[in-house]
Amino acid sequence: MNNYFQRVALSLLLSAVSAQNSDAYVLMISMDGFRADYLDRTYTPNFDKLANRGVKAESLRPVFISKTFPNHYSLATGMYPENHGLIANSFYAPDLQERYSMRDRSKVEDGRFYAGEPIWITAEKQGLKAASFYWVGSEAQGLRPSIWKRYDQGVPFDARVDSVISWFSLPPPSRPNLVLLYFHEPDWTGHAEGPNGWKTLKKVRDMDALLGRILSKTSKLDIAQNLNIIVTSDHGMMEVDSEKLIDLSAYADFSDVRFEGSGPTVAISSDSEERLGEVYESLTTVPHCNVYYRQDIPDRWHYKNHDRIGDILVVADKGWWLSALSHGSFLPKGMHGYDNDLQSMHAIFIADGPAFKDGYLRGIFDNIHVYPLVAHILDLAPYPGIDGDLDAVRDLLRD
């Protein structure tokens, strides 16, 4: 009899625990190009409030290359670009014999370009509803969560927030446990005005005010007590100097090779070993950059084991701009894409909610650990083969 009561008590306890876990909610917000030190350079009371109540990392290290598409997809999958396949914003994919470009709708929505398992798919496979407002990868065929939106930059930020609030207000069978939300600022202004421009810092304050409205609205939700809010970003922003322009075509002949990109990195590919050798030799004389054959790209970048990565990669020193246009190219005032160890390329990570410690500050961590962190909060078994590791960020958690 005693045993029977023990078993009943245990099963009641277990069902209470599992009900509690399926009651966990996560809202993950990305503010594109939010450089870590922006928070120290202007007045951001709402970010400060969130950090004081919850957790904050000194900064979040992006994956290399420090561009939007590779990084959002690494945040979503816990994988390095050499494993998830989105190795740049634009690239040639020899495996598909097609080009990918973030500006080409048909490619952005073509699931064949995307490997790994984004967190919203992990959630839905394990019985939770998920939603995305513009997260990279969530528009692709075969990768879409139950609720998703086709990218339209013109949709006002507050309208995006109102949609998210309405999703969290749905009755339980339809209500998502996981929502991802994207804003293209302060990246947009950071490119135009540079990371030190007053308009960029003004935009940071605008994003702080937006965060204030998000916190106010989410605090009124029925699920408020169970909601974890993560505010993060894909990369930082570097000042670009119009004096630091390198015209690679002055050093090497790029006719009959594939030349990809401009700015912090360029990639060159060819089927001809001989032509690659010639181009490589010529480029070794260029100042203010490093040139690598793919197999020699530094291991710390985890950026070589995919044939979408160019045969030769040229990486500019900080603030330098590579191009192959003898007549010059359009230069923004700010850019990212440089070495992900540079502090100026680092992003933010701030989170608050029942899963997180209170008022806890920690050091830098890599954005590949965000996927296992979110999976853990939602009690999901992570996709095998991810590069991220929950143990690297477990200290953020309350238990």
Name the residue nearer to Zn ion (CB basis): 32 or 311. 32
Nearest CA to 230 among 373, 77, 344, 346?
373
Task: Provide the b/e sequence for 199-227 (b: ≥16 CB within 10 Å).
Answer: ebbebbbebbebbbebbebbeebebeebb
> 27 to 56, contacts with ligand AMP by CB under 6 A?
32
For residues 86 and 73, is the Cβ–Cβ distance under 8 A? yes
Name the residue nearer to ligand AMP (CB basis): 16 or 155. 155
What's the rounded Cα separation, in Å, for the pair 238 and 329? Answer: 18
x/- site string to Zn ion, residues 178 to 197, per CB under 5 A?
Answer: ---------x----------
Report, in Å, the least distance between residue 326 CB and ligand AMP.
24
Binder of ligand AMP out of 96, 101, 188, 247 (CB under 6 A): 188
For residue 285 the two structure tokens come to: 């004389």
The region of 112-120, 131-139, 245-253, 295-303 touching ligand AMP under the rule CB under 6 A is 131-139
Cβ neighbours, 10 Å, residue 144: 20
Report, in Å, the least distance between residue 184 CB and ligand AMP.
4
> 98 to 117, contacts with ligand AMP by CB under 6 A?
102, 108
Query: Of residues 68, 122, 218, 265, which has the active-site annotation?
Result: 68
The count of C-alpha atoms lying within 13 angstroms of the C-alpha of 195, restricted to the half-sphere facing its C-beta, is: 26
Q: Is position 187 an interface residue for ligand AMP (rule: CB under 6 A)?
A: yes
The full DSSP string for 231-258 is: EE-S---EE--TT-EEEGGGT---TTSE
For residue 394 the two structure tokens come to: 């477990």
Q: List the single partner that 254 binds among Zn ion, ligand AMP, none, CB under 5 to 8 Å by kind.
A: none
Name the residue nearer to Zn ion (CB basis): 35 or 175. 35
For residues 294 and 311, is the Cβ–Cβ distance under 8 A? yes
The yes-or-no answer on residue 68 being catalytic is yes
Binder of ligand AMP out of 136, 348, 350, 370 (CB under 6 A): 136
The region of 30-38, 126-134, 274-282, 367-375 touching Zn ion under the rule CB under 5 A is 30-38
Phi/psi of residue 259, each to 5°? -115, 125
Residues taking part in catalysis: 68
Positions in the binding site for ligand AMP (CB under 6 A) = 32, 67-68, 89, 102, 108, 134, 136, 139, 151, 153, 182, 184, 187-188
